[in-house]
Amino acid sequence: MKIKTIQLRTVILITLFIISGIFLAYRPVFDTDFGWHLRVGEYILRTRSIPYTDLFSFSVPHYPYVYHSWLTEVLMYISYRLFGWWGVSLLYSLVFTGISALLSKITALSTGRNVSFFTPLVLIPALIITIGFRTQSISALLLTALIYLLTSSKIVPVQKDTFFAWTKQANMHWVLIILTLWINLHGGFVLGFGFLILYLLMMIVQQMRSSQFGAKSFAYPAVTILLIITSMTVLNPYGVRSWEQAIQMANNPVAAAENVDWQPIWKSIQNYDQYYLLPFFLSGLFFVAMSVQNSKKGTPLKITAVLFFLLLFESRRYMFPFLIVISPFLVSLIQDVFAYALDKNRTYKFPYIIALSVLFISLISNSLKTQLFTYCAYTNKVCYAEVADEHNPPPNFPVHATAFMKEYGVPTHLFNHANWGGYLIYAFPEHRFFYDGRMDNFFNNGESFLAEYLSIQHAQGDWKEKLEQYDINGVLGAPNWELVHELKNDSDWNVVYENETSILLEKISD
């Protein structure tokens, strides 16, 4: 009877945890790439094949492209097919709930302290602000799982034990599974490999300092398992091309200069962007946690956190791994605050209880407000646009212009806003468009196609010849575009729709 009671209590706690996680995480999907991600998943399930070339553009048809997230896109489309947009939000909410669950385990391993299963839930809003309901959240989940496997592993010298025994003690069989899945779920798998190599190196050095065995006893199994894992990751639909494109994407100078996601964090300070100042606030809390806890446990994770913080000055893309790596220490700090405030021996704890109550009420009220926004957005397209415009950064989806084109018709060769490509692919799956979020990683003679797009948008150089080259007969963009200004003054073009956020121009037929 006692065992059954414990099992029932465990089931109830896990159920409450999952419900709480979903409640705190659930919100609308505003990813500008959502449309093409969804259509890739639909294509795979409909044709029962993996695409190897571009599916959505008329500007670079049949470009050889690696869909790193093909398996995630299948899961996304299944969720959408079952429950519509609600299902996709549920999928992402479960991802963040999973991250939170793993963080409680990692915190205990990294700090040597017991942590409430529910404490990491407090970080879910910060995680979502940083990572978003985007496919990169899958990389965040897998990075968290990788950290858990490594922090719970035992790196020992290979002496009497066999190599396979070492692999089991070091959790490398699970690491192999995680990274083999990762390369089929998201392009962030390269980050996972880098983290694995760095973490193994630090753990080996740490063990060698307190061991009588030489470097060879530690390095041999680590190098061997890395070679095995690397060779296994080639077993994906794209083979070595998955690595080639991922590395090419990471070294794209045009994207680094123009794409907000790839720009260094210091540009946020220049632009007074509060959204991207979050890492500095969290890093401050991280160093507070380090000074308060003063523990030698989790040293490799602490070093990695400092490294990711420095890498933020190279690219904002390192923001989510930075937050994941410091989260265990933030969770421990939050646990300390809770324990301090609720200490039974503390005689004057009223202010602390008030502070915790305000935090709790803020989390609940913000989540309730978000649920109302979600209901409004998913039941009304106009409301979706309004809620999306409050999102940071606002995608300003062309909802009204799209509704107009559903009645009026879509120009056959439409030059579109880069951030609207995914939305248009979702709204008009039968059409191809000039540009979407994948195409800054399309290369021609080593140059990103983003440069071609920008030269037309800004009406620079031989932009008129390029309109002729691509046979552009329609333009959907922002009213303040240089291209729009030029075409408005061109007698061959006519404005067919315009509002405060978008304008549709069409070329007059001869």
**Mean pLDDT split into 10-residue runs, the chain, 510 residues:** 69 89 93 95 97 95 94 98 96 96 87 74 86 94 94 67 70 90 94 89 72 61 82 87 88 78 70 61 77 69 88 86 90 79 66 77 88 90 76 73 94 95 95 94 87 95 95 95 95 93 89
Query: Is residue 420 a part of any domain in this protein?
Result: yes
* Antiparallel, parallel or unpaired: β 474-477 and 414-416: parallel
The answer to whether 65 and 438 have CB atoms below 8 angstroms apart is yes
Please tell me the predicted confidence (pLDDT) of residue 391: 64
Query: Is residue 228 a part of any domain in this protein?
Result: no
Output the six-digit token pair for 448: 């990103």
Output the six-digit token pair for 352: 């602390």
Query: Is residue 143 a part of any domain in this protein?
Result: no
Query: Is residue 409 a part of any domain in this protein?
Result: yes
88, 378, 393 from 28: Cα distances, Å: 9, 7, 14
Q: Number of folded domains in the chain?
A: 1
Please tell me the predicted confidence (pLDDT) of residue 283: 76
The answer to whether 475 and 415 have CB atoms below 8 angstroms apart is yes
Which region, left, alpha or beta, applies to residue 64 given φ > 0 means left and ψ of -120 to 50 means alpha?
beta
Q: Angle at the Cα of 341 (from 339 to 343), degrees rounded to 5? A: 60
pTM to 2 decimal places: 0.90
Query: Is residue 486 a part of any domain in this protein?
Result: yes
Please tell me the predicted confidence (pLDDT) of residue 118: 76
Residue 406: which domain range? 399-507
> Taking the CA of residue 336 as centre, how many other CA atoms within 13 Å lie in the half-sphere pointing to its CB?
17
Query: Is residue 157 a part of any domain in this protein?
Result: no
Please tell me the predicted confidence (pLDDT) of residue 98: 95
252, 416, 418, 476 from 460: Cα distances, Å: 21, 17, 17, 18
Query: Is residue 479 a part of any domain in this protein?
Result: yes
The answer to whether 126 and 323 have CB atoms below 8 angstroms apart is yes
Please tell me the predicted confidence (pLDDT) of residue 211: 60
Query: Is residue 58 a part of any domain in this protein?
Result: no
Please tell me the predicted confidence (pLDDT) of residue 167: 75
